Amino acid sequence: MRDFIVLAIILGATPICFFRPYFGLLMWTWVGYFNPHRFTWGAAYNFPVALVIGGATLVGLPFAKDTNRRILTFQTILILSLWAWFGVTTMHAALDPVLVHHIEYTKLEFIRISKILLMTVLMIWLVSSRDRLHYLFLVTAFSFGIIAIKGALFGWITSGQFRVYGPPDSFIEDNNALGLAFNMMLPVFYYMARTEPKKWIRWFLHTSFYCTILASILTYSRGALLGLGVVLIALALKSRHKVLAGLLLVACAWSVISFAPGRWMERMGDFFHGNLDNSAELRLNAWRFSFELAKHYPITGGGLQTFTPQLYQRYTPELEYAGPHSIYFQTLGEHGFVGLSIFLLLLGSCLAGLMRLRRQAQVLPSAEWIIPYTDMLQVSLLAYMISGAFLELAYFDLFYQVVASVILLKILYRNELELALRNIVEAPIQIPTAEVVEA
């Protein structure tokens, strides 16, 4: 039954995606985050839903209406530069005899990342209004909100004795990746609930916010726990009721420590006491390997999927093999210091751009709606930067949606400013009447 419903939705939506590419973007977002086909057990499980939806959307681009014409910003250039650099490092890996052993995996990863970046560029092009941006984040919120509610209910029923995972065979299947996604979504739930006019949607967003906190804790991810603490503190500092928010934060921390299940406390025990277990040791190994590899390939790194046992044996034979376990060291090892510099510049420019946008929107009444978005995206980026320091998610599609949203806010602010200036220029000049002149 589930297979039939999912296939009916996907196949029924395909022609709409063709004639309405913006709708196709929303469907792509839903499929990419919620992974509805992964909740089935039959033919729909391996059905190429992303290919069908994405293909129909791309083919239907000539039918797109009301698109952004001027999408070039500093962040847009950085995204395109990063994409181009991925291509350069992929070609370098194909030509280097030391790195060529993983070239097939490199090519597959480059294709997968290119799909994400292509849809990111389309997002910048198709989301041409305040309403379209709002609907995009509503779809994102509903996708992750249902997963969070499901995870919280699972944790409640099992008394938190088991980890919460994401949809199988998805980008967020791993508990650590899911914890990162939850942390990035917390500010989305929080700020959208404050501005959403419809009561039932506000109720869903509030419920998702609290369930996300519980589900994030029950992922048993220590990186997610650290990120969760930073996000909640940031939200408290940005709240209009800072004292009350601070008290609720203290109460939340006390509740976690007092009522957390034994298995969770056992997992976090070493983390709280500053001790390193085998998992933490492997992370340090991966970071050291990444630096050693970058010393040999400082410009290009080793290319995508370069963290292999063969290269460990060659450059750090004394270390036990491990994956990258950090967005920063992953980028360094795979794309060298040039790739890392572009990546860090993208992060920094987004944060700086949001601060500038907030100041500009405060003095333009028609752009005041942008202010909550700047706060929301700032905290979401902060969550990615903190939790991502311990996870190999440098190519996380939710991160690129946040970056695209920063670009969109700049474009939409520019449109609001131009409209305001045009209204001033076109405003009729008030000519005094004869009676006023005589007076």
The string over 148-167, giving b where at least 16 C-beta atoms fall within 10 Å of a residue's C-beta and e elsewhere, is bbebbebbeeeebeebbbbb
The rounded distance, in Å, linking the Cα atoms of 49 and 386 is: 32
Cβ pair 401, 140 in contact under 8 A: yes
Measured between alpha carbons, how far is residue 133 from residues 183, 212, 414 in Å?
A: 20, 22, 15
Q: What is the pLDDT of residue 255?
A: 64
124 close to 68: Cβ distance less than 8 angstroms: yes
Which amino acid would we find at residue 323? G
Instruction: Quote the mean pLDDT of the chain.
Output: 88
**Residue 230 corresponds to which tokens in the numbers above?**
């930073």
Residues 120 and 391: their CA atoms lie apart, in Å, by 22
Q: In this predicted structure, which of 19-23, 45-49, 104-108 has the lowest mean pLDDT? A: 45-49
pLDDT of residue 439: 39
Between 71 and 280, whose confidence is greater? Answer: 71
> Which pLDDT score, from 0 to 100, does residue 277 have?
57
User: Mean pLDDT highest for which of 61-65, 136-140, 227-231?
Assistant: 136-140
- Write down the pLDDT at residue 269: 61
pLDDT in tens, 366-406: 899 999 999 999 999 999 999 898 888 899 999 999 999 99
Which residue intervals of 45-174 are DSSP H helices?
49-59, 74-95, 103-126, 130-157
Looking at residue 436, its pLDDT comes to 42
Say how far residue 338 (Cα) sits from the centre of its chain: 23
What pLDDT, in 10s, does the model give residues 235-265?
888 877 666 667 777 767 666 665 666 666 6
- Of 430 and 353, more confident: 353
Return the pLDDT at 353: 95
Does the pLDDT value for residue 311 go beyond 90? yes
pTM of the complete model: 0.91
Q: What is the DSSP string of 214-279?
A: HHHHTTT-HHHHHHHHHHHHHHHHHSS-HHHHHHHHHHHHHHHHHH--HHHHHHHHHHHTT---HH
pLDDT digits (tens, 9 = 90+) for 5-25: 999 999 999 999 999 999 999
| Contacts for 131-134: CB closer than 8 Å, 24+ residues apart | 132/22, 133/373, 133/405, 133/408, 133/409, 133/412
Which pLDDT value is given to residue 56? 93
Terminal Cα-to-Cα distance of the chain (whole angstroms): 82
- Structure confidence by residue, pLDDT tens digits, 180-228: 999 999 999 999 999 899 999 999 999 999 999 989 988 988 888 888 8
Answer whether residue 438 shows pLDDT above 50: no
**Encoded tokens for 30:** 């839903």
Nearest to residue 176, comparing CAs of 229, 222, 226, 231? 222
Q: What is the mean pLDDT of residues 355-366?
A: 93
> Which of 284-295 are b and which e, b meaning 16 or more Cβ less than 10 Å from the residue's Cβ?
ebbbbbbebbbe
Pick the residue with more confidence: 433 or 343? 343
Greatest mean pLDDT range, 200-204, 313-317, 318-322: 200-204
Q: Does residue 93 or residue 271 have the better pLDDT?
A: 93
| Alpha carbon 398 to chain centroid, angstroms | 2
